[in-house]
């Protein structure tokens, strides 16, 4: 893609004293995402205490990894790994050596209660394989599920209870197989609906009950009809999913989900002001560009991913909260004036090229300087980096701590093993488990007994083996959900792909012909309406 830099970007970068980007938005996005392993977790041992841990680093990796308890303790000092900067060498190679040497946090899973197999989460209770979801209870196999209870298979869902297989839903109860549903309950197969109860296979409805395929029924008729659908059968659900996909295509689609926003482009934006090319942002958020996933109080943010909770004046940052004036870093939490640093927390100030630091200031490569020494040295290193071509660039993808396919870069920019190796990146080969053809997945949930807990199934898509645990079985029985034919990660991949790419395309409204920016490119089969035309279709 062409590297176009707007006047706003030039002003933003000038304020931060940073040069203009040399590569396009997408490649910068990919380069940052290489540093986020969200869902690949492994069993390992803490390098400080020897205790068993769940870790983001596979045991074959050479990183030093500490359990969460050990990492957050005062039993070690990240500054003891500090080193002088060598002006005869490049900055990035020295930063990578330091990042390999300093103990790293095994997992980002704070205030967890009986939820040790979760990552990039906080305050979860009795959860299993929940990634990027906070304040959940009794939830399993979900990504970006927040404040939810008794749910499975959610992607980007807020405040759900007793729900299964949802994408982009908020305030929902007893809902299944739905996308973009808000304030809906006791329903299944909804798309782009608000305020529905007891509805089935409906698209674009507002405040209705007892509707099937967008047609009204009496309560009695509705119950009779629903009973015939046999939702406990995998085959039946599969057929219904196909039918629903066809039914959805007969309705015009909103060009983008941009709700209560002012002067905003991108998709999935709520309560955002002055945003260009931003995706998955919850306001308040103001003056932002090329920001992917974040919000809850962000301002003056350019080219960042997974940032939120009072972050301001930042550029090329991944996975950060509560920070000010930071660039080219990952996981800068509650820090200020930070450059080229990863995993720096608890009110760090004035760090350059630091890693895994807590409450420190005036450090370079984890070495302590006085205030005046720090600014002198920082200026000299920046001059050096200008000569080496490193200044103003994020560290290279090759310096990621993970293999490409362990990171979310592979979700948004999928590559084959050959392509990854050709770029000089690493590929993670999954361990092959030979178990033959696996057990047959039963069709109807009613016919399933506890014997299923000893069965091993083979994922119909990837061949990965998977099992059903007791919590899961109870959940499927309670919600009348058939046993899945895919492993949990494959199911997540399917939900992820049901969302549109984080990219806007120039096209025309299929009704009035107005030029619009939409995440639906013009080759797609959906009929796409601008906001005004779309709202006119609603009843
Ligand atoms: Zn229109």
Band (pLDDT 50/70/90 cuts) for residue 530 is: very high
**Rounded distance from Cα 534 to ligand 1 centre (Å):** 7
Residues 6+ apart with CB under 8 A from 240: 177, 189, 201, 229, 231
Ligand 1 centroid, distance to 462 Cα (angstroms): 41
| Structure confidence by residue, pLDDT tens digits, 85-108 | 999 999 999 999 999 999 999 999
Lowest mean pLDDT among 391-400, 409-418, 423-432: 423-432
How confident is the model at residue 430, as a pLDDT?
A: 83
Beta carbons within 10 angstroms of residue 413's beta carbon: 16
What confidence tier does 75 reach under pLDDT thresholds 50, 70, 90?
very high
Contacts with 486 (C-beta within 8 Å, 6 or more apart), sequence order: 459, 460, 461, 462, 466, 494
CB atoms within 10 A of CB 440: 8
Q: How far is the CA of 253 from the centre of ligand 1 (A)?
A: 11
Neighbours of 464 (CB within 10 A): 15
**pLDDT value, residue 3:** 81
Nearest to 251 by CA among 205, 188, 204: 204
Q: What is the DSSP string of 451-515?
A: GGGG--EE-TTT--EE---HHHHHHHHHHT-PPPSS-HHHHHHHHHHHSPPS--EEEE-TTT--E
Q: 216: CA distance to ligand 1 center in Å?
A: 28
Distance 535 CA to ligand 1 centre (A): 10
Question: Are the C-beta atoms of residues 320 and 314 closer than 8 Å to each other?
Answer: yes
Q: How far is the CA of 517 from the centre of ligand 1 (A)?
A: 12
Question: Which range among 149-158, 297-306, 373-382, 431-440 shows the weakest confidence by mean pLDDT?
Answer: 431-440
Q: Is the pLDDT of residue 189 over 70?
A: yes
- SS3 breakdown of the chain: % helix, strand, coil, rounded to 5? 25, 40, 40
For the chain, what is the mean pLDDT? Answer: 96
User: Measured in angstroms, how far is the CA atom of residue 527 from the centroid of ligand 1?
Assistant: 11
Is residue 180 packed enough to be buried (19+ CB in 10 Å), middle (13-18) or exposed (0-12)? buried
What is the distance, to the nearest Å, from the Cα of residue 283 to the centroid of all Cα atoms in its chain? 17
Got the DSSP string for 119-167?
A: BSEES-BS-EEEES--S-EEEEEEEEEES-EEEEEEEEEEEEEEEEEEE
Query: From ligand 1's centre to the CA of 508, what distance in Å?
Result: 8
- Provide the strand spans (E) within 310-462: 311-321, 324-332, 336-339, 342-345, 349-352, 355-358, 361-364, 367-368, 457-458
Residue 61 Cα, ligand 1 centroid: separation in angstroms? 53
CA of 270 to the centre of ligand 1 (A): 21
Cα of 127 vs centre of ligand 1, distance in Å, is: 44
pLDDT above 70 (res 265): yes
Q: How far apart are CA 305 and CA 317, in angstroms?
A: 7
| Cβ-based neighbours of 267, under 8 Å, separated by 6 or more | 256, 257, 258, 279, 280, 500, 502, 504, 519
Q: Give mean pLDDT, residues 239-249.
A: 98
How far, in Å, from the CA of 531 to the mean position of ligand 1? 7
Tokens matching residue 396: 């290279």
The predicted-structure confidence for 421-474, as pLDDT tens digits, reads as follows 999 999 999 877 776 778 999 999 999 999 999 999 999 888 889 999 999 999
Strand, coil or helix: 422:
helix
**How distant is the alpha carbon of residue 134 from its chain centre?**
12
- Per-residue pLDDT, averaged over 48-63, amounts to 96
Q: Rounded to a whole number, what is the distance in angstroms from the first to the last CA of the chain? A: 41
Residue 539 has pLDDT above 70, yes or no: no
Whether the CB-CB separation of 186 and 198 falls below 8 Å is answered with: yes
User: If 0-12 CB within 10 Å is exposed, 13-18 middle and 19+ buried, where does residue 80 land?
Assistant: exposed
The pLDDT of residue 444 is 96
């Amino acid at each position: 893609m062409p590297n176009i830099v707007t006047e706003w970007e030039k002003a933003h970068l000038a304020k931060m004293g940073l040069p203009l980007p040399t590569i396009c938005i997408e490649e910068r996005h990919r380069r940052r995402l290489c540093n986020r392993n969200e869902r690949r977790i492994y069993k390992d041992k803490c390098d400080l205490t020897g205790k068993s841990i769940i870790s983001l680093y596979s045991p074959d990796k050479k990183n030093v990894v500490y359990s969460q308890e050990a990492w957050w303790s005062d039993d070690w000092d990240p500054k003891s790994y500090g080193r002088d900067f060598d002006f005869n060498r490049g900055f990035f190679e020295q930063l990578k050596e330091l990042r390999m040497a300093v103990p790293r946090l095994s997992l980002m899973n704070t205030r967890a209660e009986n939820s040790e197999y979760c990552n990039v989460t906080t305050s979860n209770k009795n959860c299993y394989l929940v990634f990027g979801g906070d304040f959940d209870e009794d939830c399993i196999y979900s990504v970006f599920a927040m404040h939810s209870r008794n749910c499975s298979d959610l992607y980007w869902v807020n405040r759900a209870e007793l729900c299964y297989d949802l994408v982009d839903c908020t305030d929902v109860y007893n809902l299944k197989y739905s996308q973009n549903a808000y304030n809906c309950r006791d329903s299944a197969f909804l798309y782009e609906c608000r305020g529905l109860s007891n509805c089935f296979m409906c698209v674009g409805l507002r405040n209705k009950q007892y509707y099937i395929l967008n047609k009204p029924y009496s309560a009695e008729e509705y119950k009779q009809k629903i009973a015939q659908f046999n939702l406990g059968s995998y085959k039946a659900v599969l057929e219904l999913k196909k039918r629903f996909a066809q039914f959805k295509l007969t309705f015009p689609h909103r060009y983008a989900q941009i709700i209560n926003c002012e002067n905003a482009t991108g998709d999935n934006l709520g309560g955002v002001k002055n945003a260009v090319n931003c995706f998955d942002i919850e306001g308040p958020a103001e003056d932002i560009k090329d920001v992917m996933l974040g919000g809850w109080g962000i301002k003056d943010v350019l080219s960042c991913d997974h940032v939120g909770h009072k972050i301001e004046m930042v550029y090329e940052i991944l996975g950060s909260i509560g920070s000010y004036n930071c660039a080219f870093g990952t996981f800068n939490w509650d820090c200020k004036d930070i450059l080229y640093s990863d995993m720096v927390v608890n009110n760090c100030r004035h760090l350059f090229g630091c890693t895994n630091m807590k409450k420190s200031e005036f450090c370079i490569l984890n070495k302590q300087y006085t205030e005046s020494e720090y600014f002198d040295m920082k200026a000299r290193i920046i001059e050096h980096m200008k000569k080496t071509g490193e200044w103003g660039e994020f560290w290279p993808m090759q310096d990621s701590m993970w293999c490409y396919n362990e990171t979310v870069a592979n979700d948004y920019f999928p590559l084959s093993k050959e392509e990854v190796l050709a770029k000089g990146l690493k590929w993670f080969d999954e361990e092959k488990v030979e178990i033959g053809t696996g057990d047959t997945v039963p069709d109807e949930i009613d016919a399933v007994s506890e014997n299923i807990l000893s069965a091993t199934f083979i994922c119909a898509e990837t061949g990965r083996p998977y099992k059903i645990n007791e919590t899961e079985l109870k959940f499927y029985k309670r919600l009348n959900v058939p046993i899945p034919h895919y492993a949990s990660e494959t199911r997540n991949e399917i939900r992820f792909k049901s969302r549109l790419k984080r990219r806007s395309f120039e096209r025309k409204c299929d009704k009035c012909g107005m030029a619009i920016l939409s995440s639906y490119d013009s080759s797609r089969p959906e009929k796409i309406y601008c906001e005004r035309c779309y709202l006119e279709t609603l009843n």
